[in-house]
């Protein structure tokens, strides 16, 4: 009889946990817009790094030294467009990319 009571309590507890999970799970399903880094490979920040926020201490350490790096984090759906503009001379993206290279090696390769 004691075993049956334990089994019944476990069943009720499992059902309560399932209800809580169903109410909490939708909160975590919200999409957080991710950004991708389309700048040059840097030590500790490789090209195509995907982040949810550029406000992490690691990313901020790069941005503090080279503000243009923040502009090279773009929404994933804008990656192809931004990459084509990075190689097009005269665009802001090209300038930002070259500033990141300058930060990396100390001079812009022309």
Sheet with strand 50-51: strands edge to edge: 50-51, 35-37, 73-75
Q: What is the rounded distance in angstroms from the CA atom of residue 88 to the CA atom of residue 6?
A: 70
Q: Give per-residue pLDDT as tens, 39-57.
A: 999 989 999 999 998 899 9
Q: Give per-residue pLDDT as tens, 50-85.
A: 999 889 999 999 999 999 999 999 999 999 999 999
Residues 39 and 13 reside in one and the same domain? no
Q: What's the domain count of the chain? A: 2
Q: How many degrees, rounded to 5, is the angle at CA 37 between CA 34 and CA 94? A: 130
Residue 110 within a domain: no
- What residue numbers bound the domain in which 54 lies? 35-105
Residue 86 within a domain: yes
* DSSP-assigned letter for residue 110: -
Residue 40 within a domain: yes
Residues 70 and 19 reside in one and the same domain? no
Residue 4 within a domain: yes
pTM: 0.67
Residues 26 and 64 reside in one and the same domain? no
Residues 65 and 41 reside in one and the same domain? yes
């Amino acid at each position: 009889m004691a075993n049956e009571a334990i089994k019944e309590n476990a069943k009720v507890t499992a059902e309560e946990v399932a209800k809580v999970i169903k109410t909490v799970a939708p909160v975590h399903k919200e999409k957080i817009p991710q950004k991708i880094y389309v700048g040059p490979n840097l030590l500790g920040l490789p090209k195509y790094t995907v982040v949810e926020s550029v406000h992490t201490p690691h990313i901020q350490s790069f941005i503090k030294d080279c503000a243009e790096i923040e502009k090279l984090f773009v929404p994933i759906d804008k990656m192809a467009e931004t990459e084509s503009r990075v190689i097009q001379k005269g665009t802001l993206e090209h300038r930002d990319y070259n500033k990141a290279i300058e930060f990396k090696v100390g001079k812009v390769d022309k």
